[in-house]
Chains A and B, each alone.
Chain A
Amino acid sequence: MSVAELVAVRRTRALQARAENRALTKLTIGPSPWVRVATLAALVVLAALWLLPVVWGAVTSFKHEAEAALPASWWPSMGWTLGAYQQVLSNSDLLIWMWNSLVVAVLVTVLTVLISAMAAFAFSQTLFKGRGLLQWLTIASIMMPGQILIVPLFRQMQALGLVDTFAGIVLPQVVAPVMVFILKRFFDAIPQELLDAARIDGAGSFRLFWTIVLPLSRSILVAVAIFVFIGAWNNFLWPFIVTTDPQFMTLPVGLSTVKNAYGVQYAQNMASAMIAALPLLVVFMLFQRRIVQGVATTGMGGQ
């Protein structure tokens, strides 16, 4: 497709969406202009309130440290500066923690999606002795909140020598029985004729899994992956328990120690908060549609 065609398609799509939105507005709140203005006003106020803390943090992060400690003002009299960012990036382990978070989140995501999809395939498309029991155990383990296991799990990590290691942070996070059920539900809905045909052609389970089931489930796999990634990137409690060495801390854990160390360096605190917030916000802007869909499909835990 040429660029011109693509642009044309996009434009018609945008026009369609606009027409649909207009129709929707009429249907849900009626055609009265006053109601529409009131609705818009409510949205603007809510959105402004919701953006306020982040915007205020950003404003502070560009102030001089001396001015940040003065009573709040939106426009600094000493002018704007990148000083806080320079300080934070050169003095703290921020970049190391960010890298650790990325490694941990990617490992958790890849491992979780892989083993959950495999288990879901086993439950959905194969028969083996003990399948019913295992499925029942998986449902039961959904009920086990990881938070109450921190004490024995830490003990176990000590015994295995995994405290202050990536393996220690990652491995306990890859057990996601809910995801297995979300995926199983999706795999169940794949037309059985397709799989039977492939089996008759001599395809084994591994080929079935890689060449039919996974490609057909791309949307749900992406949804699950996004969900797991956000959770792993932001996870605080477990990495906080299992790491004591700053070299192995993830971003959330590391940040919580910086705050104590720097005490009252407000501009620097906000600069590190902004740096920490940036990656996921950029990812969200790039993949907004996918993420919104992902939350909608996986957020309810398969209900």
Chain B
Amino acid sequence: MTVSNAGVTTPPGKALAGPRTPDGRSAARAGTTPRSLRERDRSGYLFVAPFAIATGLFLVWPTISGLWMSFTNQSLTGTGSEFIGFDNYAEAFSDPQVWQTLWHTVWFTILSTVPLVVVALIMALLVHTGLPGQWVWRMSFFAPYLLTSAVVSGLSAWLFQPDIGLLDTTLAALGLGPVGWITDENVAMFSIALVTVWWTVGFNFLLYLAALQGIPAQQYEAATIDGAGGWRRLISITLPQLRTITGVIVVLQLLASLKVFDQIYLLTKGGPNGSTRPILEYVYDIGFTNYRLGYASAISYVFFALILVFTLVRLMPARKEA
């Protein structure tokens, strides 16, 4: 039987020796050692088929049809779908609204990413000290992440309510004037960033916490024996150990923030006076309010080009490892 022959090709004992680590290396090993056993297996097609079909239908096909659409003047009402070349792209690049909403998106990304990383780090460092009440801290910081965007915007709109809202009432008690949290063009984006930090920081916090728990305790013990104080240990051990994870969190956060839509659409509808409208909302407005599907697709692809840059940066470490 070929099967048992194949089994013999794996040197007995050697295959069992050495623990497998869940890194890229074992994958390479898995690819070589038992090759002969797997080679006879054609069931792979059946296993990959459902995912491949779903991806083809709901990811690859819309990607292609969207690209095609961006070269046509297709409308949601069904009229006209002639090929118009690069007209949509030419229009997009000269459309001030595209540049404006693109800038709002980038501005939001800058405003939200910095605190979303820094506050998460501070929270994780504080919780990781092992002070009592671990359950309470984790719960409080992560719970908002579990709320859906409609709840988040409902709660924050209520906090931001002019005159009777909690924030304005509290400020008034302190003798401070009312703030146009989401009604003042100069303030609205900051308020949205604030809400976003409150909402999603718990996720980064958990990533940092997991990374902190991975730092070997011996390092701290050794440093303590050498007489290093708390600050010294933080600066010389903890922070350097968090370099890699910080890089990952920053890139993931940039990608997430660039795709902002929910909380802005629900809280300000892009206002006041269009001052917070992100590019995704512009795509929505053009496509589903103005019915210009072709033009909306073209703007989508311009936006995609921007996101692609960040995604490639994100995938780079993974490629190095493989």
Contacts and interface: CB of A to CB of B under 8 A. Distances in A.
A71 B163 contact: yes
B191 interface: no
Interface in A171-217: 171-172, 174-175, 177, 180, 185-186, 188-189, 191-193, 195-196, 199-200, 204-206, 209
Contacts of B16: 193
Contacts of B33: 192
A50 B141 contact: yes
A256 B150 contact: yes
B27 A188 contact: yes
B151 A152 contact: no
Nearest to A184: B27
B47 A28 contact: no
A24 B293 CA distance: 57
A131 to B, nearest CB: 6
Interface residues of B, number: 125
B192 to A, nearest CB: 14
B233 A28 contact: yes
A118 B62 contact: no
Interface in B11-35: 15-16, 20-22, 26-27, 29-30, 33-35
Interface string B240-265: 00000000100010010001011000
A28 B230 contact: yes
Most chain A C-beta atoms within 10 Å of own C-beta, residue among B138, B141, B166 = B166
A273 B54 contact: no
A152 B148 contact: no
A115 to B, nearest CB: 4
B158 A269 contact: yes
B34 A285 contact: no
B169 interface: yes
B134 interface: yes
Interface residues on A, range: 35 or more
Nearest to B127: A43
Interface in B31-56: 33-35, 37-39, 41-45, 47-48, 50-52, 54-55
Interface string B175-212: 00000000000000000000000100001001101100
A70 B164 contact: yes
A17 B240 CA distance: 26
Interface in A87-123: 114-116, 118-119, 121-123
Contact of A259 (B141, B142, B154, B161): B154
Interface in A56-90: 56-57, 60, 69-72
A161 interface: no
A263 interface: no
B61 A205 contact: no
B14 to A, nearest CB: 10
A290 interface: no
Contacts of B164: 69-72
A281 B146 contact: yes
A128 B35 CA distance: 12
A35 B130 contact: no
B34 A195 contact: yes
A298 B18 CA distance: 26
A261 interface: no
Contact of A128 (B45, B58, B59, B66): B45
Interface in B123-143: 123, 125-143
Nearest to B249: A300
Most chain B C-beta atoms within 10 Å of own C-beta, residue among A20, A126, A195, A281 = A126
A256 B210 CA distance: 35
A21 B131 contact: yes
B2 to A, nearest CB: 11
Contact of B140 (A50, A128, A285): A50
A251 B150 CA distance: 9
Nearest to A141: B59
B315 interface: yes
Contacts of B138: 288, 292
B154 A36 contact: no
A2 interface: no
B131 A39 contact: yes
A121 B283 contact: no
A149 B59 contact: yes
A302 B59 CA distance: 20
Interface in A141-158: 141-156
Given A273-B151, A295-B207, A205 B43 contact: yes
Nearest to B312: A143
B220 A28 contact: yes
B238 to A, nearest CB: 7
Contacts of A252: 148-151
Contacts of B96: none
Given A122-B47, A299-B206, A234 B62 contact: no
B154 A255 contact: yes
A247 interface: no
17 contacts: A43-B131, A43-B137, A46-B140, A56-B158, A118-B51, A122-B43, A128-B45, A148-B301, A150-B300, A151-B287, A191-B20, A200-B4, A236-B261, A256-B153, A259-B150, A300-B248, A301-B252
Question: Lowest 10 A-B CB distances belong to which pairs?
Answer: A126-B44, A24-B130, A296-B210, A30-B230, A152-B66, A119-B51, A21-B130, A128-B44, A122-B47, A255-B150
